[in-house]
Structure 1
Amino acid sequence: MYLRSHLLAVSGFCIEDQQSLLLQLKNNEFKFDASWSTKLEGHVVGLDLSWEFIDGELHNSSALFCFQHLQNLDLSHNYFNSSISPAIGNLKNLVFLNLSDNSFVGKVPMEISQLKNLVSLDLPSSSLKLEIPNLQQLVQNLTKIRYLYLDYVKISAQGKDWSNALLAIPSLEEVSMMGCNLFGPIDSSLERLENLSKLYLDSNNLSSIVPESFAKLKKLTILSLQDCNLRGDFPHKIFQIETLSFISILHNDNLHGSLPYFPLNGSLEILVVRKTNFTGPIPSSLFVLPSIAYVDLSFNHFDGEIKPDMFQSHQYLDILDLSYNNLSMVIDANLSSFPNIFHLGLASCNLTEFPAFLRNHSPMVYSLDLSNNHIQGLIPHWIWKLQGLQWLNLSINYLTGFESMKNLTNNFYVLDLHSNELQGRIPVFSSVAYLDCSSHNFNSIIPHNIGTHLSSTFFLSLSENKFHGHIPRSLCEASLLNELDLSNNSFKGTIPACLIESEMLWVLSLGDNKLTGKIPNSFPKSCWLKALDIHENQLSGLIPESLARCKYLEMLNLGNNHIEGHFPCLLKKISSLRVMVLGGNRLEGPIECFDNNGTWPVLQIIDLSFNNFSGFLPTRTLTTWEAMS
């Protein structure tokens, strides 16, 4: 047999017993699709079975554990639906073990601690537990480990315990324990891990200060402490580690600090302090760093002026987000150059006009956020011609119209214009996936075949405008629509049956209009609706029986119409219902279903007021609404 592998290169040919073991795995144990498989054919120099779509189980008797000379084993990105067999301890020569992104469940076996030659251990899984044995017991013999990845394994350990476990492995270079139920405080003794270059502790409830002693980790290149409930002041000296290329401390609302002077010989490429409580100016030294590529300072309390010439010499700057601070941008139309930024976030930066430097230099901006500013007047035509622009947010300004209504699209993926003062007929936006034109004074939809122009649209909001007349039936031609919001307008006539018949809609909101007639009884068998809101109209007739097909429905609002009939027992099999508003209608009879099985176990809000119900309050029915208790 010809030897083939992605991990281990071994010269020579497979000896006979190895061949038979491999054939046993391939033919008898692992279930896989031969049309996808690229590694279960041919000879072996190690086992790299990643991304093989394997959905078998690993039993103690598996032939896999007879390969006692294996040094590399990669079973990542498969569908093993079993525990990790203790027989893994038989593979005592393993150097690299990767079991990540599988469906392994249960406890991490203690036998892994017997693999004393391991240099890399990769076990990320949300279904594994490492409590008994605990982390310290697992790694106590793994003194050669340099790469330890345990993301989302349930460790549940206090700061001193997990810190001491790591300190027992002086060779550690990379540690990733995101979402492991770790608690604080962060032990300052971790400074003794002199070889540590990458540390990820995101999404743990550390509730801790960050020790200044981390600045002694002279080889540190990546420090990620996102969403860890950090508190206190973040040490300046950590930002100034010369080897540090990536630091992210986003979403730590109780973390304070400011940005220091950054040394010119620093290696910083990515700086993310989004949603913390940092204050002070943006230091100009940050943008002198030649390697800086990603800066996100949004949702903080930085103050001062932003001068675009601070960024003009940065050929590697890809992402710059200064949104939601106390900053003011100085518009300089004479700027000599501007970098090709992928994302530029200037929301809530006290802008009163469109940044002219974007027009003059036409940078390759993919994403531009100018929302929540004080920009007035017309939207300039040049904004639609920015090369590469696909994500544009101009919402919450004082825009009144369009400089030109020709060729307003640039194959946008997201276009958010909500909460301005635009009026008249709504422009035709083609090839937009996400379009929000809510909260304006638009009053007409032209052309009438608008649906054909929205063939790529999955989200459309035209709510809180002054639209009138009938809902265009051509909206049904927007065949990819998942969410449609036409609420708070003056639409009249009936609900187009084709909207009800859609098998794509998740959210349909037609509330607060002047719609009449019956709700079409044409909900499809494969109904995906999660929210249906048609309140504050003049709809009549019965609640349609076909609505019971919408088995994923979570919110139903039929309030303040003229709907007749009885208490909607026909919907009782929709177990996902959380909110049901029926108030202000003409429903009558008892509030009870004779068969109480399966009546809304997660229901939290129900409004039956202002109807004609009679009889006793249904004590027996109320007790089945478990979420209310």
Structure 2
Amino acid sequence: MASSPSLRYLNFSNNNFIGPIPNCSVSLESLDLSNNMISEEISAEIGLCWSLKTLDLSGNYLVGKIPTSISNISSSQFLTLASNDLSGQIPSEIGRLKSLNWIYIDRNHFSGKIPEEVGNLVSLNHLDLAWNNLSGQIPSSLGNLRPSLPLPVGKQAYSENHLSGEFPQLIIELQNLKLLQLMLNSFTDKIPNAVASLPRLQVLQLWSNQLSVEIPNYLGTQSDLMILDLSMNNVSGKIPDELCHSGHLVTLGLFSNSLQGQMPMSLNTCKSLEDIHLWQNRLGNDEGIVELDMFLNLPNLRFLDLSYNGVSIHGQIPKWMLNKGLDTLSYLNLSHDFQTHIERLPWKNMKTLDLHSNFIQGALPLPPLTVSFFSISNNSLIGELSSLICNRTSVEILDLSYNNLNGTIPPCLGNFSKRLSVLDLRMNRFQGTIPDTFDKKCGLNNINFNGNELEGSIPSSLVHCRNMQVLDLGNNKIKDTFPRWLETLPELQVLVLRSNKLHCFLPSPTTNHSLPELRTLDFANNDLAGPLPKGYVENMKGMWNLDEQGTSSYMGTRNFSYHYSVSLTIKGFEIKLEKILTIFASIDL
């Protein structure tokens, strides 16, 4: 079909086609095979498609190199090979395609330097080389790209490579540049003053480089600047007062740097600010205190992260903050600071509220009704857990661990939220029995009640939690026989029942497929008897087939970057794993 002499346009995108790229006739002007299952190499015969103006092969599984014959398609205007498995160097012959307006070869495995010949693409207005393994400096020839174009260096053009050297001066020659994104590289030195001469700059993202700089005052003169992100560098000094002079700043990202001193009150004038990322710095006044008043008059604030600021936010959240942002604030992270009291949490659209690792005292404040992530672990909370917590039906992560909460666990916790994936109540003083109320629609992945004073038996309704990966009931007073129904949980990887009052003979598994994913088992310090349960060990395929792909990661939830943790007995010592590697395996009986 592609070789039909009269065919001009061919679009087979978003299917499941496999096999080689079809040969094309000299009449074909547009070939779109994007988002299929093609896993072949690009044949050198692609160079015979002389009339092609648009070639889109993105979103496949193409391998090998870009054939140099591609330079024969002199009429090509749009070329995208993004999101494949292509490798090798970018061929210098690509510089012969003088008609190219757009070129996207991001998200592949290209290596080596960016060829100087790319600067010969005089018609280019979108260039994206991001998410590859390119190295070296950006060639000076790219300064030849036409400065009159609105986006001569497209979105994320060079990000996530291994480009190095000083900040590229050639970029400054592109006077109509709107987006400058060079994140995840290795640029050093400082941001040149000439950036101030880019009158249309809207986005400046340089995060995760090696820039050793102070924030230039002149960035406040960029009248169109909306996003400024210098996070994960070696930025030092103070946040300049002039930063909000432009009046259009929406996102300010400065986290994981070495900033010091008090935040300027001029932030109050950034009426358009929505997202503020300042965590992991050393911000504060002479007493090491961050004054939250500079956020008093930000009507659009929705994301605020001031965590990990060393000696920083002390005392109570100010009352104005409990009233401001009621309708806008959806993310608030004040963890690892020095909060001591919280009266109420009234925000109407809060999704993520992280207050862990502070010194918060008193009763547990109920999170907003809309919250999905609520962590107030590692504080000094006292009192009982109110059943009103079960009105929070949107919650997915509930972490109340490492406090002094007592009383019984409300029965409604077993079925109050179909979305709940993590329920962490460990290291408190809960008493009574574990409620046997886990619903048939239970979505829990992680239950951790370790280190309480719970009694009774292990509730059989836990069998409804088919997605369970971690079950930790260790260090309680549970008196029960081994719950054989645990064998039916197909996803269970970590099972900790240590230091309880489990008794009887440990039975052999009923099938050869019991606990197929199990890789960590801890029954230490109980009253179990009989022969060692070798049947369970032999069935633990998750332990014997670890890391088949040669990679490892941590157990947890992707949505909130929340890692599971667990306490285990290893060689007689209790060890807390703050993160559980997917390749970790342990047996303690």
The answer on whether the counterparts of 1:215 and 1:237 sit within 8 Å (CA) in structure 2 is: no
- The superposition leaves residues 17-75 of structure 1 with CA deviations (integer Å, 9 ceiling, x where unpaired) of xxxxxxxxxxxxxxxxxxxxxxxxxxxxxxxxxxxxxxxxxxx8xxxx79975544556
Identity %: 24
Q: Is the 8 A contact 2:119 2:145 kept in 1?
A: no
Q: Supply the RMSD in Å over aligned alpha carbons.
A: 3.5
Are 1:242 and 2:174 counterparts? yes
1:146-185 equivalence runs, <5 A? 146-155=77-86, 157-159=87-89, 162-164=90-92, 166-167=94-95, 169-185=97-113
Q: CA deviation at 1:270?
A: 2.3
- Structure 1 match to 2:429: 514
Rounded Cα–Cα distance in structure 2 between residues aligned with 1:255 and 1:424 = 43
Judge which range, 272-281 or 175-184, deviates more.
Answer: 175-184
**In 2, Cα distance between equivalents of 1:112 and 1:590:** 70
Which has the higher Rg, Structure 1 or Structure 2?
A: 1
Q: Which residue of 2 aligns with 1:390?
A: 302
- 1:433 corresponds, among 322, 329, 351, to 351
Match of 1:273 in 2: 206
Matches within 5 A, 1:122-161: 122-125=56-59, 127-131=60-64, 134-136=65-67, 139=70, 141-155=72-86, 157-159=87-89
CA–CA separation in structure 2 for the residues paired with 1:506 and 1:519: 17
CA distance in 1, matches of 2:187, 2:196: 26
Alignment of structure 1 residues 461-476 onto 2, 5 Å: 461-476=375-390
CA distance in 2 between counterparts of 1:625 and 1:336 reads 58
Q: Which residue of 2 aligns with 1:81?
A: 16
- Counterpart of 2:227 (choices 290, 294, 307) is 294
Q: Any residues of structure 2 matched to 1:358-377 within 5 Å, and which?
A: 374-375=288-289
Q: Which residue of 2 aligns with 1:343?
A: 275
Query: Structure 1 residues 109, 376: closer, same or farther in 2, change over 3 A?
Result: closer
Equivalent runs, 1:15-30 vs 2, <5 Å? none
One-letter identity of the residue aligned with 1:610? N
Counterpart secondary structure, 1:271: strand
The amino acid across from 1:83 in the alignment is I
Distance 1:561-1:332 versus aligned 2 partners, 3 A rule: closer
Give the 3-state SS of the residue equivalent to 1:199 in structure 2: strand
Give the conservation status (yes or no) of the 8 Å contact 1:516–1:540.
Answer: yes
Letter in 2 for 1:542: S
Which residue of structure 2 aligns with residue 364 of structure 1?
A: none
Tell me the residue number matched to 1:121.
55
Q: Is the 8 A contact 1:150 1:176 kept in 2?
A: yes
In structure 2, C-alpha distance between the alignment counterparts of 1:590 and 1:182, rounded to whole Å? 59
2:30 aligned partner: 96
Any idea what SS the aligned residue of 1:182 has?
Answer: strand
The answer to whether structure 1 residue 480 and structure 2 residue 394 are counterparts is yes
Q: TM-score, normalised by structure 2?
A: 0.78
Could you tell me which amino acid in structure 2 is paired with residue 233 of structure 1?
G
Cα 1:440–1:135 shift into 2, 3 Å: same
Task: Compute the displacement of 1:569 (Å).
Answer: 4.0
CA-to-aligned-CA distance 1:320-355 (integer Å, 9 cap, x gap): 33333333456665899656334344445544359x
Shift of 1:511: 0.8
Q: How far apart in 2 are the matches of 1:210 and 1:575?
A: 50
CA distance in structure 2 between the partners assigned to 1:91 and 1:251 by the alignment: 41
SS in 1 for 2:390: helix
AA matched with 1:218: L
Of the candidates 232, 235, 257, which is equivalent to residue 325 of structure 1? 257
The answer for the alignment partner of 2:129 in structure 1 is: 201
3-state DSSP class of the match of 1:535?
A: coil
> Within 2, Cα distance between the matches of 1:336 and 1:567?
60
Alignment CA distance shift 1:408-1:480 (3 Å): same
1:196: how far off? 3.6
Q: 2:137 aligns with which of 210, 214, 217?
A: 210
Residues 88-120 of structure 1 show CA distances to partners (whole Å, capped at 9, x for unaligned) of 6567644334444x4545437758665432212
1:415 aligns with 2:336: no
TM-score by length of 1: 0.74
**Counterpart residue number, 1:604:** 519
How much has 1:177 moved relative to structure 2?
A: 2.0
Give the letter aligned to residue 76 of structure 2.
Answer: I
Matched position secondary structure for 1:259: coil
Instruction: Identify unmatched segments of 5+ residues in structure 2.
Output: 147-151, 545-589
Judge conservation of contact 1:536–1:560 (CA < 8 Å) in 2: yes
SS in structure 1 at match of 2:363: strand
* 1:336 to 1:320, Cα distance in 2 relative to 1, 3 A: closer
Superposition deviation, residue 510 in structure 1: 0.9
Does structure 1 conserve the Cα–Cα contact (< 8 Å) formed by 2:188 and 2:211? yes
Separation in 1 of the partners of 2:266 and 2:476?
Answer: 59
Q: Residues 225, 242 of structure 1: CA spacing in aligned structure 2 closer, same or farther, 3 A cutoff?
A: closer
The list of structure 1 runs, each at least 4 consecutive aligned residues, that deviate by more than 6 angstroms after superposition, is 65-68
8 A contact 1:239–1:262 mirrored in 2: no
CA contact (8 A) 1:426 1:445 kept: no
Contact 1:84 1:109 in 2 (8 A): no
Asked if structure 1 preserves the Cα contact closer than 8 Å seen for 2:80 and 2:105, the reply is yes
- The aligned residue for residue 444 of structure 1 is 363
Task: Give the counterpart of 1:494 among 402, 408, 412.
Answer: 408
Distance 2:20 2:131 in 1: 29
C-alpha contact (below 8 Å) 2:301/2:325 kept by paired residues: no
Amino acid at match of 1:171: S
Change (3 A) 1:413 1:68: farther
Count of residue correspondences = 527
2:528 paired residue number:
613
| Alpha-carbon offset, residue 619 of structure 1 | 4.1
